[in-house]
Amino acid sequence: MSFNLFAAEEEALAKARSLGKRLEADAPDCVAEFNALIAAFERSTREQQRLVRVSDRLQGQLNDANRELERRRTEAEAALDRLREAQEAMVQSEKLASLGALVAGVAHEINTPVGIAVSCASHLADATAAMRRRAEEGELSKGDFARYLGTAIDTTDLILGNCERAAQLIAGFKQVAVDRASAVRRRVNLAAYIQDTLVSLQPKLRPAGHGVAVTCPGDLELDCYPGVLSQILSNLVMNALTHAFADGRDGDMAVVVDQPAPDMVRLCFTDTGRGMSEEHRSRVFEPFFTTRRGRGGSGLGLHIVHNLVVGVLKGTIAVDSAVDRGTSFTLLFPRCTPED
């Protein structure tokens, strides 16, 4: 490579040396200066050849570095793809766990009205059997019949009331479960839907004595993906139970909904728990970030909330918190979710 690059210089040097020999005979006074020029040109040529060799070596090193960089970039992209797949799997697992908690919660709530209805039906059956025996034996009096009528009226009222309550719970659960599983868009009354979601969380809230106060306009209807709202609210409540009220700490939660503009909805979820430091607050929506790893915290709950608010509801979410001063999450999103 160097020979080809400097062939003209080598040819010029050869001619200059030949010319120098002729000058020794024809112009001896110029020989010294002419030889000095030749020597300078030779030094310049050698320096250029050296620089070319250095450049070739550096170019080879650069090519090697580029190949190594490309290899590592490919490995990094493959690792990132695997990480995303693992993260997506964990997010789906978290969603399924939330749906499982919903099922368990509603089943627990249904047990109460169904149990009361069964007890009342059993009591009415016993009273009816006693009345039948008295009638068959001819011992039925007006007083007995009046007492039976009172018992029948009271127990049937209880049976009907508790069966209606169970039916309402089942209907609400079915709709919330379908919304969670299929992400169907529909119109929904927000106040009623919040209550349906909170019913499923009662088994988690009641043992610790925590409550969730709800303030929401009764006529506020949304055209959105209600399953997303249910998932968001469930994750916020469970996050508060896991972190804000950890280790049996007392406190309450509240959901306050208003409309800063006719086409916008603002939902504020607050708790009176332990709060967060500034360092933790700034990282709260990062995937897998948790202060209770191995003790009930997966680090995905609030990451899912952020993704659902921003990605599905096309809104924003902000958090305000300080140590021992509680935490507040403020969601702002359109009343009618925009199409993608």
pLDDT tens-digit readout, 63-105? 888 888 888 888 888 888 887 777 666 656 666 666 666 666 6
Q: Specify the higher pLDDT residue, 329 or 33.
A: 329
Tell me how far apart the alpha carbons of residues 94 and 301 are, in angstroms, rounded to a whole number.
Answer: 8
266 neighbors 259 (Cβ within 8 angstroms) = yes
Mean pLDDT to the nearest integer, 229-242: 86
Q: Please, which pLDDT band fits residue 3 given cuts at 50, 70 and 90?
A: very low
Residue 175 has pLDDT above 60, yes or no: no
Residue 1 has pLDDT above 50, yes or no: no
Between CA 266 and CA 274, with CA 272 as vertex, the angle to 5 degrees is: 120
Q: Tell me which CATH code domain 183-340 carries.
A: 3.30.565.10
Most confident of 33-47, 75-89, 302-316, 318-332: 318-332
Mean pLDDT to the nearest integer, 210-220: 92
pLDDT at residue 316 in the model? 94
Helices 226-239 and 142-182 cross at an angle (nearest 10°) of 100
128 neighbors 337 (Cβ within 8 angstroms) = no
Q: Specify the higher pLDDT residue, 97 or 187.
A: 187
Q: Specify the higher pLDDT residue, 95 or 178.
A: 95
| % of the chain at pLDDT higher than 90 | 16
Q: Please, which pLDDT band fits residue 273 given cuts at 50, 70 and 90?
A: confident
Q: Specify the higher pLDDT residue, 130 or 288.
A: 130
Mean pLDDT to the nearest integer, 175-182: 54
Average pLDDT, the chain: 80
Contacts of 298 (CB under 8 A, 6+ apart): 90, 94, 288, 290
Mean pLDDT to the nearest integer, 204-214: 82
pLDDT in tens, 13-51: 777 777 767 766 666 777 777 777 778 887 887 888 788
- Greatest alpha-carbon span in the chain: 164
271-280, 291-300, 318-327: segment of lowest average pLDDT: 291-300
37 neighbors 26 (Cβ within 8 angstroms) = no
Residue 231 has pLDDT above 80, yes or no: yes
Mean pLDDT to the nearest integer, 179-206: 78
Q: Please, which pLDDT band fits residue 109 given cuts at 50, 70 and 90?
A: low
Domain ranges of the chain: 2-74, 183-340
